[in-house]
């Protein structure tokens, strides 16, 4: 996946799709994938979100190929936009039988589910005011407009729009809550009622070789969802997905399927032969440009996703579950290392190095500048960019926090009032 420096906007034509190799079968002895042949690079899992929409014919079933497009994200509560690329996979556990789907009436199943599948389009403002765009998929859980999707679909968004089948225009949506660790988010669409909803299945009943259908907003093109079919090839999978910035996310307990998954399908339903949702599409295998297609995708089981939705609905905030909007400081940061600290002439060796300060944000008002290092929040040590994000997410917009930072002139501290920022 290419990296961007332009605030998350992809200038590459949307029809520029590389092809990818099939990943190796997992080793029955260790549970880890076997090394691929030298001429076939190891595919990498990526979370399939996509750039902005283009017109697409209605109602087509897609023989899809994986495209190395972008997932847009942001440092939660910090206001820094990243291009998220995918790191090396660590697919652990489960097993695969490689069975192909042959008997499903795919279009009939899709016709039953599609009315409750929505397109999600986001705007993301870069640290210097640039506007980027992302797209993904969601599922209607309630007739009043609750939508289940991945957190990475809406992560960092300053504006969320939802398109609903059979209704014109785009509806605004807000984040009810999100689990940043398990990549689940619950949205509320504004000003709607009487909507169709998905039917959820018990995902613990899934078996290897079971035929499934994947539905999503492939390539962010909008219109009638794209549909692919395949089988459950492994259960209880664990994968590691990198963000292109040296960090990674570890997702566990996933369904692996051999249905082709494209960018933009994130948050879409994986359904069984009875048109019931067994999982939420989350990631897919990715290899290098110019390789043959890969049909390996991953989904969060419906039981797991619904359990997180229940926690969000009950308002059970935790270190990983954020309820409502998070406080926003307005800095872009990365981990400070000793080499960078020495080069910048700083007398600290750990903390959150400030790369960017959002104009008009609380950090700017406090006097925090680029190449400063934030070392504490409310007197509690901050040793990394992630630690800063965790500390800020504990606070709501409007709350005051004390920020301590270091620059070449010394150590400083100020009390700032957080504002409402992008989605987590």
CA distance 388 to 80: 12
Q: Please say whether the dihedral angle defined by the alpha carbons of residues 187, 188, 192 and 195, taken in this order, is positive or negative.
A: positive
384 to each of 72, 181, 391, how far by Cα in Å?
Answer: 22, 17, 11
Residue 375 vs residue 87, higher pLDDT:
375
If pLDDT is split at 50, 70 and 90, which confidence band does 248 have? Answer: low
Q: Domain end: 279, 313, 347, which one?
A: 313
375 & 300 share domain: no
5 found inside a domain: no
Residues 147 and 207 both lie in one domain = yes
171-179 and 159-164: which strand pairing?
antiparallel
pLDDT of residue 101: 41
The CATH number of the domain where 59 resides is what?
A: 2.40.10.120
Residue 386 lies in a domain: yes
Structural domain includes residue 13: no
Give the whole-angstrom CA distance, residue 92 versus residue 80.
32
Whether 207 and 241 share a structural domain: yes
Which pLDDT does position 17 carry in this prediction?
32
Q: Answer yes or no: do 69 and 210 share one domain.
A: yes
Same domain, 331 and 292: no
Confidence of residue 214 (pLDDT cuts 50, 70, 90): very high
Asked whether residue 66 carries a pLDDT value surpassing 80, the answer given is: no
pLDDT tens, position by position, 296-322: 999 999 999 999 999 999 998 887 898
Average per-residue pLDDT for the chain: 76
Are residues 360 and 390 both part of a single domain?
A: yes
pLDDT tens per residue, range 74-99: 222 222 222 222 333 333 333 334 44
Are residues 266 and 142 part of one domain?
A: yes
**For residue 3, is it within any domain?**
no
Q: Domain of 416: which CATH number?
A: 2.30.42.10
- pLDDT (average), residues 346-364: 90
φ, ψ of residue 162 in degrees (nearest 5): -125, 130
Position 286 in a domain = yes
**What pLDDT, on the 0 to 100 scale, is given for residue 280?**
98
One domain for residues 234 and 308: yes
- Give percent above pLDDT 90 in the chain: 48
Compute the average pLDDT of residues 183-210. Answer: 97
pLDDT in tens, 5-31: 322 223 323 233 333 334 433 322 222
Is residue 232 domain-shared with residue 358, that is, in the same domain? no
**Structural domain includes residue 19:** no
In the predicted structure, residue 278 carries a pLDDT above the cut 70: yes
Q: Check whether 292 has a pLDDT greater than 60.
A: no
Task: Provide the number of structural domains found in the chain.
Answer: 2
Q: What is the pLDDT of residue 58?
A: 34
**Final residue before a domain boundary, out of 259, 281, 313:** 313
Query: Is 36 part of any domain?
Result: no
pLDDT band at 382; cut points 50, 70, 90: very high
Q: Active-site residues: which are they?
A: 152, 183, 266
Q: Does residue 204 carry a pLDDT above 50? A: yes
Q: Under 8 Å CB-to-CB from 219, ≥6 apart: which residues?
A: 14, 50, 51, 54, 56, 67, 69, 262, 263, 264
| pLDDT top residue among 221 and 236 | 236
pLDDT at 403 over 60: yes
Indicate whether 209 and 127 sit together in one domain: yes
If asked whether residues 72 and 206 sit together in one domain, one would say: yes
Is there a domain that residue 308 lies in?
yes
Average pLDDT over residues 377-386: 91
135 plus 102 within the same structural domain: yes
Which of 283, 313, 343 lies at the terminal end of a domain, its last residue? 313
Range(s) of the domain holding residue 343: 325-420
**Secondary structure string (H, E, C) spanning 157-170:** CCEEEEEECCCCCC
């Amino acid at each position: 996946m290419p990296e961007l420096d332009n605030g998350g906007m992809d200038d590459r034509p949307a029809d520029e799709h590389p092809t990818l190799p099939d990943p190796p079968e997992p080793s029955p002895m260790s549970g880890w994938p076997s090394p691929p042949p030298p001429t076939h690079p190891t595919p990498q899992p990526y979370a399939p979100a996509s750039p902005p929409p283009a017109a697409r014919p209605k109602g087509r079933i897609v023989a899809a190929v994986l495209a190395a497009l972008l997932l847009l994200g942001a440092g939660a509560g910090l206001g820094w936009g990243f291009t998220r690329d995918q790191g090396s996979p660590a697919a652990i556990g489960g097993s695969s039988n490689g069975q192909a789907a042959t008997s499903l009436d795919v279009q009939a199943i899709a016709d039953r589910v599609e009315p409750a599948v929505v397109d999600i389009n986001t705007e993301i403002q870069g640290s210097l005011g640039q506007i980027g765009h992302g797209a993904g998929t969601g599922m209607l859980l309630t007739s009043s407009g609750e939508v289940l999707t991945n957190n990475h679909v809406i992560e960092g968004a300053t504006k969320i729009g939802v398109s609903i089948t059979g209704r014109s225009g785009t509806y605004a949506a807000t984040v009810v809550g999100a689990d940043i660790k398990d990549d689940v988010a619950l949205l509320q669409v504004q000003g709607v009622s009487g909507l169709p909803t998905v039917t959820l299945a018990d995902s613990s009943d899934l078996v290897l070789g079971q035929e499934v259908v994947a539905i999503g907003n492939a390539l962010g093109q909008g219109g009638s969802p794209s549909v692919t079919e395949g089988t459950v090839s492994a259960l209880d999978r664990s994968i590691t997905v990198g963000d292109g910035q040296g960090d990674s996310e570890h997702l566990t307990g996933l369904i692996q399927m051999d249905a082709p998954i494209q960018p933009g399908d994130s948050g879409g339903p994986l359904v069984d032969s009875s048109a019931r949702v067994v999982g939420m599409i989350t990631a897919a295998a990715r290899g290098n440009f110019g390789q043959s297609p890969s049909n390996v995708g991953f989904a969060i089981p419906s039981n797991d996703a619904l359990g997180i939705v229940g926690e969000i609905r009950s308002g059970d905030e935790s270190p990983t579950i954020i309820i409502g909007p998070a406080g926003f400081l307005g800095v872009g940061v990365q981990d400070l290392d000793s080499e960078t600290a020495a080069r910048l002439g700083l007398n600290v060796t750990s903390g959150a190095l400030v790369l960017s300060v959002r104009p008009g944000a609380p950090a700017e008002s406090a006097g925090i500048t680029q190449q400063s290092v934030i070392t504490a929040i409310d007197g509690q040590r901050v040793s990394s960019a992630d630690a800063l994000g965790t500390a800020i997410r504990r606070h709501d917009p409007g709350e005051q926090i004390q920020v301590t930072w270091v620059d070449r002139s010394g150590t400083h501290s100020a009390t700032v009032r957080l504002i409402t920022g992008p989605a987590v």
